[in-house]
Amino acid sequence: MNTYCTFFLVAATALTLSACGKSNTPAQAVSDHAKAANAAAAKAPAANAAATNGTATKGEAAAAAKPAEAKPAAAAVEVKPKAAPMPGQIPAPSDVAAIPADAATTASGLASKVLQKGAAAVHPGAKDVVKVHYTGWTTDGKMFDSSVKRGEPIEFPLDRVIAGWTEGVQLMVVGEKRRLWIPEKLAYQGRPGAPAGMLVFDVELLAIKAAPKPPAVPADVAAPPADAEKTASGLASKVLKKGTGAKHPTAASMVSVHYSGWTTDGKMFDSSVTRGRPASFPLSGVIAGWTEGVQLMVEGETRRFWIPEGLAYKGRPGSPAGMLVFDVELLKIMN
């Protein structure tokens, strides 16, 4: 059975891209906004239909808006004949073909219905990591993915999935089971090879892990301060914490880092800190400002960089524009 990445649809952050079966790392995305990142991140969930960045997340991870207040569902669409389940498939719900009258619909067009009430009171946020069991069907009753069938629940950040999941799971509490009817505009949007049309998911929310708090916006985010160092290329930097190592990476080195990035108006567009895991990548595969800047560092050091646009995305559509500011902690030189 083919599986699909719900993470296909996530808008990638400026430094990370999501791809089915691939991880989110700043490495390739910094160098090429159109390439998927190395295998590692989000989540082994990345290879499954309801999980995955980035990422596929471009530019920034798009945080879901607060779910709108539910209202009565729209009139049912034309009912399609339901296909008989294939051997080994979980049978489709009786209302798979169209939104039933007792479902609630939000302003975005997402419809849902509680199948089992939860025992908790806390709802996940758009950036929280959730653990779920789920099964997905197309409206003809064909199952295209199921963690239930695989016998293993999945974990992923809610801002790394299709918009219908980001919004819908925020309506839930732990222990709850809910059926979601996700219109195509909140699902795969006609992407070739992905399930088409409205999709139906049964989701059970098993656990919520709160996302780390985002780092504070630097006071000097708008421009390099007088005490910043500047190289001939125009890259400015300032050591925030001295390192314990003596060796500097080279342009060919693989490094492990934590980082956060802001535009000069103080808007954070990407952060490994908020994802709760460091990123690893070759310095030859990132934007020029990173390639040059990280070579100035030693292990254990934290440094702030002011990277001019000519050393960053160079006006590339969909990428953070202008000078960019990064706080980078070099955790390890891996080769």
Q: Please identify which of the residues 287, 305, 327, 333 carries the catalytic annotation.
A: 287
Cβ atoms within 10 Å, residue 251: 12
Q: Is 202 a catalytic residue?
A: no
Q: Please identify which of the residues 4, 188, 305, 313 carries the catalytic annotation.
A: 313
CA distances in angstroms from 294 to 11, 101, 270, 281, 330, listed in the order given: 26, 57, 17, 12, 8
Nearest alpha-carbon partner for 202 in 222, 225, 181, 179: 179
Angle at 77 between CA 75 and CA 79, to 5 degrees: 130
Q: Is 269 a catalytic residue?
A: yes
Buried b (16+ CB within 10 A) or exposed e, 321-333: bebbbbbbbbbeb
CA 333/CA 253 separation, integer angstroms:
7
Cβ atoms of 17 and 24 within 8 Å: the answer is yes
* Contacts of 290 by beta carbon, 8 Å cutoff, 6+ apart: 26, 30, 283, 305, 307, 326, 328
Q: Is 326 a catalytic residue?
A: yes
Q: Please identify which of the residues 281, 326, 327, 333 carries the catalytic annotation.
A: 326
* Contacts of 307 by beta carbon, 8 Å cutoff, 6+ apart: 235, 287, 289, 290, 293, 323, 324, 325, 326
Q: Please identify which of the residues 188, 259, 281, 305 carries the catalytic annotation.
A: 259
- Do you know the residue count of the chain? 335
Q: Please identify which of the residues 145, 202, 270, 327 carries the catalytic annotation.
A: 270
Q: Is 188 a catalytic residue?
A: no
Q: Is 313 a catalytic residue?
A: yes
Show which residues are catalytic. Answer: 259, 269-270, 287, 313, 326
